[in-house]
A and B are shown apart, each in its own frame.
Chain A
Amino acid sequence: MGMLSRKDKKTSDSSSSSSSSTSPCANFRAAYHNCFNRWYSEKFVKGQWEKEECISEWQKYKACLSEHLDDKHLSRFLEAEKSVVDHCGQSR
């Protein structure tokens, strides 16, 4: 996915002026999002959703986030595995 390869640099550049707290995770984030985007377009939309992928990318990214995500409103979503479903359920 060439279109995403320059993202890391760009992200850290723009966030240095933005009081961002998760930019140390930019590499993990890019790795996970690249993997997820590929899985979504190549597998999920074709009905191959039995198996989760990008698990190791996700674990590394999530570990980094839980270390650097200061905002308590945001970390609430990170910690509560279950809240994803609940939150979406409410918004339907």
Chain B
Amino acid sequence: MVKAYKQEYTYRHPWERVTSASWRKFADPENKRTLSHILEVDTLNHKLDSNSGKLYTTRAITIHAPGPWFVRKIIGQDICHCVESTVVDGHSRSMQLTTRNISLQKFIEVQEKIRYDPHPDNPESWTLCRQETSIQIKPLSALASMAEKVEQRCAERFVQNSAKGREVMERICKYLEAESGGISL
């Protein structure tokens, strides 16, 4: 029982600006209201390879994911920790984020991959975002009988949240554009 979703989205902003916005996505208070399911983001580790221009980062994301009462009863918590690994290649201008849950893995595995690349039709001014989400409920979990329902609920939440995420990204891009006077970044 794996559900997978693919989405594509074009930002009419250059790659440099969009990836800058991606780092700020969870941080600013304005966005905290929109992305209210994100409680905390901590950077756990980072590494810069100054020869190749690659930046590696690991962040912990704490998400508030309240489910139906019976789910909370079984798993005993409604806070979920996720780990996000990011690779930015400054030379080839690509950013890849992979997020997976580390809490509740007995019951459910969610993996989300996001890539930001210069848009092939307009590589200097636009950015293509490709997002892939897979959700898997463990068949032997205590939730098996209601797994379908939970899976559906998760999927709906993810689609809702990724729409919110885009809204936030657009807002930060506009902010960064204004800040830079619309010239370079």
* Chain A interface residues (CB < 8 Å from chain B): 3-4, 6-7, 10-11, 14-15, 18-20, 22-23, 25, 29, 32-33, 36-37, 40-42, 44-47, 49-52, 58, 61, 65, 69, 71, 73-74, 77-78, 80-81, 83-85, 87-88, 91-92
Known: A20-B40, A29-B42. 5 other contacts (CB 8 A): A18-B64, A20-B62, A29-B43, A45-B20, A52-B48
User: 6 shortest A-B CB distances, which residue pairs?
Assistant: A45-B16, A91-B98, A41-B20, A77-B44, A84-B45, A3-B28
A26 CA to B45 CA in the complex, in Å? 16
Q: Is the interface of A mostly helix, strand, loop or mixed?
A: helix
CB distance from A54 to the nearest CB of B (A): 9
Which of B53-61, B67-75, B144-152, B157-165 contacts the other chain? B53-61
CB distance from A53 to the nearest CB of B (A): 9
Q: Do B39 and A15 touch across chains, with their CB atoms under 8 A apart?
A: yes
Task: Return the chain A residue nearest B28 by Cβ.
Answer: A3
A-B contacts, CB under 8 A, total: 128
Q: Do B19 and A45 touch across chains, with their CB atoms under 8 A apart?
A: yes
CB distance from A76 to the nearest CB of B (A): 9
Tally of B interface residues using CB under 8 Å: 46
B124 at the interface (CB under 8 A from A): no
What are 25 of the A-B contact pairs (CB < 8 Å)?
A4-B27, A10-B29, A15-B39, A18-B79, A22-B40, A22-B42, A37-B27, A41-B17, A46-B16, A46-B185, A47-B90, A49-B53, A50-B50, A52-B50, A69-B42, A74-B42, A74-B81, A77-B58, A77-B60, A84-B85, A85-B56, A87-B85, A88-B56, A88-B58, A92-B87
Q: Which of B28, B30, B42, B50 has the most chain A CB atoms inside 10 A of its CB?
A: B42
Q: Do A77 and B24 touch across chains, with their CB atoms under 8 A apart?
A: no
Whether A49 touches B55, Cβ cut-off 8 Å, given contacts A7-B28, A18-B39, A37-B23, is yes
